[in-house]
């Protein structure tokens, strides 16, 4: 779900013109099958000539759902979909597309529950899962599923990290004819990343495309997966950790995925990779003029959409929000707090560990409520409210009444409430203006894996996926 504002302490952030790596960035090795070299596309034009207005510091605009459309699913206030629709056990991720098909991910299986179905149809071995899962296959495992257009979805996968080669930083891939090229390393381009899938009339799922169409200078014609838009040599985003689709507003349908390195924006089958709230680490005693620093961006586990369509990002150390401009080409252009797709804020919680490489804050969830406040959840330090963020400063308040410090998912709803998923203590709700959470009864399971909020229907739908299955809450 979503949010947007800023934090405390100025921090060195992000990538400049070409690939992101400093003198080190964190990842690890792997190898095998070949593929044709990409054909570099034309140099993308200069940034959009139109100027982006200075972000509004605090006005939150609510878009009301269609008051007369309850959609195709039951309107019960709370319903156990696992029992009602025989979903089975071990569902790891859930998504909903624009036609209200419910998508389910379970290892190498993708399930689709369509309106009118009594149970989902499962399809095994689609796309990156077609060769099974191992370091030698196309993926080590599956991670998340996110609904797309009507009858479509996106499936994320995990790949092993890769080391640098020939003096280049991690994740650098020489092309055929370049120094240090090898077929084995070139094949690494194909691993992990994101599949676009579609459901047929029989309910079975097929691969539409393994995403490879970059909007940037090296879009190419070969399906090599997601690589850096500003230089296809860099394959930094290899494992997909999170996803969020814009459900309403002028950029409805855009998808954002968080990876091991950054956040990629997707429109249909075309992507722009990437942005991240990062910081630079210098080893103790090493002069800054002798070392460019290591860019620390590991793990965008939390991606959300704010009340005004802003993109909310949280990784183990930092939190930020970007107001995306309409052109997809603008996404990866780092212009700071002004210009196209500017940061609204980016920073860290000064009440915790600071930018300490060995003690991350371990953020796992982020959202924004209708009062304009942001909320971030840590798997170690619980739930925090962030008020009045401006650039790198803001006011953090910890919610201490939860029975656990392990927060796994957050969702702000149109009635002003905040839903809090925990790892071990189930689902909780904070009413607007309150810091005292109340347990949500009737939701099976103690470990909340995912919260997906769909405000486009009345009543709205909150999909709650736990270790015990899928429950749907329908609200105002």
pLDDT for residue 296: 79
Cβ pair 279, 294 in contact under 8 A? no
How many residues are recorded in the chain? Answer: 476
pLDDT for residue 39: 34
Asked whether residue 381 is domain-assigned, the answer is no
Banded pLDDT at 125 (limits 50, 70, 90): very high
CA distance 278 to 182: 31
Burial class of residue 40, CB neighbours in 10 A (0-12, 13-18, 19+): middle
Q: What pLDDT, in 10s, does the model give residues 341-382?
A: 999 999 999 999 888 888 899 999 999 999 999 999 999 999
Q: What is the DSSP string of 218-239?
A: T--SS------TT-TTB----S
CA distance 455 to 475: 9
Which residues on neighbouring strands pair with residue 407, listed in sequence order? 422
Banded pLDDT at 67 (limits 50, 70, 90): low
Please report, to the nearest 10 degrees, the dihedral formed by the alpha carbons of residues 404, 410, 412, 417 taken in order: -20
pLDDT for residue 116: 98
Note down the domain range covering 175.
Answer: 72-275
pTM listed for this prediction: 0.87
Asked whether residue 45 is domain-assigned, the answer is no
DSSP 160: -
CA distance 15 to 276: 9
C-alpha distances (whole Å) from 438 to each of 154, 264, 398, 401 are 34, 35, 16, 9
Number of domains in the chain: 1
Q: Report, as an integer, the average pLDDT of 122-151.
A: 98
Between 234-238, 252-256, 319-323, 390-394, the lowest mean confidence (pLDDT) is in 390-394
Looking at beta carbons, which pairs linking 124-129 to residues 24 or more positions away fall under 8 Å?
126/155, 126/195, 126/197, 126/205, 126/206, 126/207, 127/155, 127/195, 127/197, 127/207, 127/210, 128/155, 128/157, 128/191, 128/192, 128/193, 128/195, 128/210, 129/157
Between 103-117, 120-134, 207-221, 334-348, the lowest mean confidence (pLDDT) is in 207-221
Banded pLDDT at 175 (limits 50, 70, 90): confident
Of the two residues 262 and 171, the one the predictor is more confident about is: 262
Which residues on neighbouring strands pair with residue 368, listed in sequence order? 374
Which has the closest alpha carbon to 212: 190, 233, 234, 230?
190
CA distance 316 to 354: 11
pLDDT for residue 6: 27
Asked whether residue 405 is domain-assigned, the answer is no
Which residues on neighbouring strands pair with residue 453, listed in sequence order? 462
Asked whether residue 175 is domain-assigned, the answer is yes
462: its two tokens: 């909150």
- Examine the pLDDT at 147 and tell me if it is beyond 50: yes
pLDDT for residue 155: 99
Cβ neighbours around 422 below 10 Å, total: 25
Asked whether residue 38 is domain-assigned, the answer is no
pLDDT for residue 217: 65
Which residues on neighbouring strands pair with residue 348, listed in sequence order? 8
Between 74-78, 119-123, 127-131, 331-335, the lowest mean confidence (pLDDT) is in 331-335
∠ CA 336-381-395, rounded to 5°: 45
Q: What pLDDT, in 10s, does the model give residues 250-300?
A: 999 999 999 999 999 999 999 999 999 987 888 888 877 777 778 878 899
- Examine the pLDDT at 45 and tell me if it is beyond 70: no
Asked whether residue 262 is domain-assigned, the answer is yes
pLDDT for residue 2: 36
Asked whether residue 380 is domain-assigned, the answer is no
Asked whether residue 268 is domain-assigned, the answer is yes
- Examine the pLDDT at 20 and tell me if it is beyond 90: no
Q: What pLDDT, in 10s, does the model give residues 305-325?
A: 999 999 999 999 999 999 999
Residue-averaged pLDDT of the chain: 86
Q: What is the DSSP string of 294-319?
A: EEE-----EEEE-TTSPEEEE-SS-E
What are the residues whose beta carbons fall under 8 Å from the beta carbon of 299, sequence distance 6 or more? 241, 258, 260, 315, 316
CA distance 255 to 251: 9
């Amino acid at each position: 779900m979503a949010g947007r504002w800023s934090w405390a302490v100025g921090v060195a952030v992000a990538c400049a013109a070409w690939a992101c790596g400093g003198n080190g960035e964190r990842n690890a090795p792997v190898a095998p099958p070949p593929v044709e070299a990409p054909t570099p596309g034309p140099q993308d034009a200069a940034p959009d000539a139109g100027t982006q207005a200075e972000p509004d510091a605090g006005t939150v605009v609510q878009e009301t759902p269609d008051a007369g459309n309850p959609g195709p699913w039951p309107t019960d206030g709370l319903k156990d979909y696992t029992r009602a629709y025989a979903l089975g056990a071990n569902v790891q991720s859930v998504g909903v597309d624009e036609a209200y098909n419910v998508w389910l991910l379970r290892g190498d299986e993708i399930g689709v529950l369509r309106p009118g179905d009594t149970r989902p149809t499962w399809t095994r071995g689609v796309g990156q899962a077609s060769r099974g899962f191992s370091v030698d296959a196309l993926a080590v495992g599956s991670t998340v599923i996110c609904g797309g257009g009507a009858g479509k979805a996106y499936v994320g996968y995990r790949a092993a990290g890769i080391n640098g080669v020939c003096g280049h930083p991690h994740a650098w891939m020489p092309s055929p004819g370049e120094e240090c090229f090898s077929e084995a390393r070139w094949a690494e381009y194909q691993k992990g990343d994101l599949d676009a899938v579609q459901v047929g009339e029989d309910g079975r799922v097929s691969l539409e495309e393994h995403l490879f169409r970059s909007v940037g200078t090296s879009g190419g014609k070969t399906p090599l997966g997601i690589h850096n838009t500003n230089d296809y040599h860099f394959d930094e985003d290899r494992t997909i950790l999170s996803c969020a689709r814009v459900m309403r507003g002028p950029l409805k349908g855009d998808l954002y995925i968080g990876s091991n390195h950054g956040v990629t924006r997707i429109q249909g089958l075309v992507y722009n990779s990437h942005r991240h709230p990062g910081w630079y680490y210098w080893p103790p005693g090493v002069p800054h003029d002798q070392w460019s620093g290591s860019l620390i961006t590991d793990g965008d586990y939390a991606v959300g959409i704010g009340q005004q369509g802003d993109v909310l990002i949280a990784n183990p150390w930092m939190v930020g929000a970007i107001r995306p401009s309409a052109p997809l080409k603008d996404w990866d252009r780092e212009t700071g707090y002004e210009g196209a797709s500017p940061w609204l804020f980016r920073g860290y919680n000064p009440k915790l560990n600071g930018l300490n490489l060995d003690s991350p804050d371990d953020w796992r969830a982020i959202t924004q409520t209708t009062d304009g406040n942001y909320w971030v959840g840590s798997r170690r330090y619980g739930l925090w409210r962030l008020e009045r963020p401006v650039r790198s400063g803001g006011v953090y308040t910890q919610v201490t009444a939860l029975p656990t410090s392990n927060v796994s998912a957050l969702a702000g709803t149109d009635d002003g409430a905040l839903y809090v998923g925990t790892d071990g203590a189930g689902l909780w709700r904070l009413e607007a203006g309150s810091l005292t959470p109340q347990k949500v009864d009737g939701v099976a399971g103690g470990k909340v894996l995912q919260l997906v909020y769909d405000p486009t229907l009345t009543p709205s739908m909150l999909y709650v996926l736990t270790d015990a299955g899928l429950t749907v809450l329908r609200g105002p």
